[in-house]
Amino acid sequence: MSDVAVTVHEGLEGVLVTRTRLSHVDGERGRLIVAGHDVEDWAARFDFEQASQRLWAAAGLDAAGLSERLDVARARAFETLPQLGDALRREDAMDALRAGLAHWPEHTRPEELVAAAAVYTAAHARLRSGCEPIAPCRGQRHAQALLGMLGLADDADRSRALDAYLVGVIDHGLNASTFAARVVASAHSDLVSAVVAAVGALKGPLHGGAPGPVLDMLDAIGEPERARGYLQAELTAGRRIMGMGHRIYRQRDPRALVLERALTQLEAALRARGDESGRTQKRLELARAVEQEAARLLAERHPERPLQANVEFYTAVLLSALGIDPALFSAVFACARSVGWIAHFTEQRKHGRLIRPSALYIGTTPG
Ligand code: COA
């Protein structure tokens, strides 16, 4: 290597590698735009099917009649379960999802993969708890069908809350899994390979891993008045507060608001019809108190670096309020994000160039 000074962009941070119409993360302003909508508005206005349809249309993918197509595709995906052998019995949900999706042939249609992600996540959960998989109910929306297949309460209030989650996390710029999907697409490989690669990236704890630990933290704190002491001890021990901070956002992650709102509505609806032991209300109050205290302590310690709640903070509270096992959190996230991966795959195939960066060689050179 010559001694000419070069800049190595480790992690590609801040490097623009493509153009996209799909989503934009504005970390400085704490703003996420998805297919031309602020995420708060996007999640309030559209359900999962409508949001997917818009995102896919923005990518130039035919998304007409998506509700019906997903409905049919869920039923078909359920019929494939006997062909998967023990793939879905694997211990780790993301491992099972990756193995299940890899069974699909090269020319699988986009909605078949989205449907299969939900069907396989639910079937994995059922099989791991020693139960038979539940077939999807025909004619339902995706969020409701997913709750039903998981064997959980799937009334309108809970389905709406899960829907808000799925829509809120559907796409988020060039995160690691989305970039992985785009790299595969850029080589003109097939959609199944891209989605499987993306699941592999999301499986990594640096990408998809914080909601489980957030829940552990809230359980360990237990009561709002214990938050300050607990958090101070964690920080003094040099540990990070889960669900706080973000690589890009310098403000509160706007998706935290989407999820907090969904939780507030769910909690009020359940309370109004007496369908709540008070657990969700307690968790929500605790989460708010912990978030406030964590933000205050982190601001004292890092006045130079705003560290606020990220999406994982309220994901943990919302998904657990719906009865979803923390072991499934990443897989449920993948059920939503599969729509984004497919949109990015399509966009990359239509307009993109082979992604082929270079590395600075620091090995030895002969002679
Ligand atoms: N708790 C305590 N301190 C934190 C923190 C947190 N959650 N997040 C960042 N910090 C501290 C870092 O230790 C660092 O301090 P130092 O300079 O004294 O070492 C400083 O703030 C700057 O952090 P930085 O390295 O710029 O953050 P990052 O961009 O590398 O990390 C995360 C971003 C998300 C990985 C990080 O905030 C984190 O680990 N959060 C907790 C895990 C989590 O919620 N992950 C889900 C992300 S969606």
Degrees, nearest 5: CA angle 81-84-85: 110
Residue 238, phi then psi, degrees to nearest 5: 85, 15
- Can you say whether residue 151 is alpha, beta or left, with left for phi > 0 and alpha for psi between -120 and 50 degrees? left
Per the CB < 8 A criterion, the answer to whether 98 and 90 are in contact is no
| Interatomic CA distance for residues 49 and 67, integer angstroms | 6
Tell which residue, 355, 341, 311, 313, has the closest CA to residue 97.
341
Give catalytic status of residue 312 as yes or no. Answer: yes
Smallest CA separation from ligand 1 atom 25, residue: 247
Smallest CA separation from ligand 1 atom 30, residue: 247
Residue 272 has pLDDT above 80, yes or no: yes
| 308 CA distance to ligand 1 middle (Å) | 10
Q: Which atom of ligand 1 is nearest to the CA of 247?
A: 29
| Interatomic CA distance for residues 339 and 335, integer angstroms | 8
Rounded to an integer, the average pLDDT of 73-78 is 98
| 359 CA distance to ligand 1 middle (Å) | 27
Residue 241 has pLDDT above 90, yes or no: yes
- The pLDDT of residue 206: 80
Q: What is the pLDDT of residues 289-325, one digit of tens each?
A: 999 999 999 999 999 999 999 998 999 999 999 999 9
Rounded to an integer, the average pLDDT of 16-39 is 96
Q: Is 253 in the pocket of ligand 1 (CB under 6 A)?
A: no
Residue 275 has pLDDT above 80, yes or no: no
- The pLDDT of residue 143: 98
Per the CB < 8 A criterion, the answer to whether 169 and 311 are in contact is yes
Per the CB < 8 A criterion, the answer to whether 310 and 256 are in contact is yes
For residue 35, which amino acid is it? A
Q: What is the pLDDT of residues 208-230, one digit of tens each?
A: 766 788 999 999 999 999 999 99
| Average pLDDT value for the chain | 94
- The pLDDT of residue 247: 86
Cα–chain-centroid distance for residue 9? 26
- The pLDDT of residue 3: 56
Output b/e per residue, 190-225; b: 16+ Cβ within 10 A: bbbbbbbbbbbbbbeeebbbbbbbbbebbeebeebe
- The pLDDT of residue 4: 67
- The pLDDT of residue 148: 98
Task: Identify which has the larger pLDDT, 367 or 158.
Answer: 158
Give the model's confidence band at 13: pLDDT under 50 very low, under 70 low, under 90 confident, else very high.
confident
| Interatomic CA distance for residues 250 and 258, integer angstroms | 17
Q: Is 234 in the pocket of ligand 1 (CB under 6 A)?
A: no
Which residues does 155 contact at the CB level (< 8 Å), separation at least 6? none
Per the CB < 8 A criterion, the answer to whether 147 and 162 are in contact is yes
Reported pTM: 0.94
| Catalytic residue of the set 111, 291, 312, 347 | 312
Rounded to an integer, the average pLDDT of 174-179 is 96
Smallest CA separation from ligand 1 atom 12, residue: 240
Give catalytic status of residue 246 as yes or no. Answer: yes
Burial class (CB in 10 A: 0-12, 13-18, 19+), 295: middle
